[in-house]
Amino acid sequence: MFQSFFFLLASLLLTNLPGATALTVAAVIQNIETTPLVVTLEDYYNTSHTFINGLPDVGVDPSIDLYAGAEVHVLGDAPEHPDLRVVATVVQFSYRIVADKRKGILLPSDLRGKRIGVVSNVTSEYFAYRYLRDVARLNASEYTLVRTGSLCYAPPCGNGTFPTLLETGAIDAFTAFEPTTTVGGMALGGEVGNATFFRDDSLYRKVNMLYTTQAKLDNATSRAEIVGFLRALGKTHEVFTRQPEKIWPRVARITARASNTTGNLATEEIMKTFWPLTKWARGLPADLVDLMVEEDKWVAMMGGQGRVPMSREMVQSLIDDGPLREAIALEREAKDCA
């Protein structure tokens, strides 16, 4: 379901100590939601480390200590790797569908019979599936999913990108990773123009999470490094939450380093627009098990897996907040001693 091999991004190989790398983190850097990991490694994690741009299957590279991906990645890997453990959250990201008022789309039910763009087999398509089923009350035969578009982080967007396909009428609506959805709305003149946005956070939001393996947690050295990284991540989250305007230019530069998007870098104005859709916090959501159990029903039938959905007990076993609790306890001790 997912690619197994990715290149090392040399510009992010930041070694502060001699000898072997102490911590290896893997994530898709061009996604906005993984930029806090880069900031954490560059600014707050004072141990040698490597950043791999990509998300290999669990177990492919035994040197990887932490992976960062959405629930769909965890659910895709977990059946063959029950030792996988989710330890923290990078960000919770609200999804939206942007639709064209010129096509008569004002209400969710107006999506009936429409062509809707999605990023195939990942959280974008899952959100479309849930929203169209549970809010618009549509059967799969009552709309058409278009999976051939590409992302665009800022105008002007090239041919074949979701915002351009929407603007030219090739599709009627789409949902994709931010800021592409925001840019799609801009292409239609925003909500004061011809853009209609649909959103339901209670139904689904993307949870980009940090995960590892039980073997890494059982090893005292790697566990200490993971706990140290979680402490450092808390400092990054404070900046992303309390001083976002200071981090926006850097977020744009980070995503550009290995981005395959078509268009320009996300501007500060674009980030200001979609930033309210984000929640930068390490804590694991209280409803995470519920969210993952429901999503696994979809993952199990997608991507040719052809498996039975995991039980609630199995999903619960994938989550371990112990390392995060250790990180928070160490932070409190340090504060008390200061």
Average pLDDT (210-224) is 97
- What is the reported pLDDT for 262? 54
**6-10, 87-91, 117-121 — which is least confidently predicted?**
6-10
Which has the closest alpha carbon to 82: 206, 209, 205, 211? 211
Q: pLDDT tens digits for 2-39? A: 333 333 333 333 333 344 458 999 999 888 999 999 99
Domain boundaries, the chain: 10-92+205-337, 97-198
Spatial distance between the Cα atoms of 288 and 279, rounded to a whole number of angstroms? 14
SS3 310: coil
Measured distance CA(179)–CA(153) in Å, rounded:
5
Residue 326 pLDDT: 97
> What confidence tens digit (pLDDT) does each residue in 239-264 have?
999 999 999 999 988 887 655 455 56
Equal CATH topology for 10-92+205-337 and 97-198: yes
Model pLDDT, residue 16: 38
Closest CA to 239 of 60, 31, 91: 91
Residues 44-63 pLDDT 10s: 998 899 999 889 989 889 99
Share above pLDDT 90 across residues of the chain, in percent, rounded to a whole number: 78
Residue 305, pLDDT score = 62
CB 234 within 8 A of CB 327: yes
The rounded distance, in Å, linking the Cα atoms of 135 and 97 is 12
Mean pLDDT calculated for residue range 154-176:
96
- In terms of Cα–Cα distance, which of 72, 6, 11, 21 is closest to 229? 21
Q: Round to whole Å and give the CA distance between 329 and 251.
A: 30
Average of per-residue pLDDT values in the chain: 90
Residue 142 to residues 103, 125, 157, Cα–Cα distance (Å): 16, 16, 29
Output the pLDDT for position 17: 38
Q: What is the pLDDT of residue 338?
A: 66
**Structure token pair of residue 261:** 């998007």
Strands, E assignment, the chain: 23-27, 49-53, 66-70, 84-94, 97-100, 115-118, 144-146, 173-175, 195-198, 205-213, 278-279
What architecture does CATH give domain 97-198?
Answer: 3-Layer(aba) Sandwich (3.40)
What does the alpha-carbon distance between residue 150 and residue 214 come to, in Å, rounded to a whole number?
36
What per-residue confidence (pLDDT) applies to 266? Answer: 83
Calculate mean pLDDT across residues 320-335.
Answer: 93
User: Is pLDDT above 80 for 235?
Assistant: yes
pLDDT for 303:
63
What pTM did the predictor assign? 0.88
Does the domain at residues 10-92+205-337 carry the CATH identifier 3.40.190.10? yes
* SS3 label, residue 97: strand
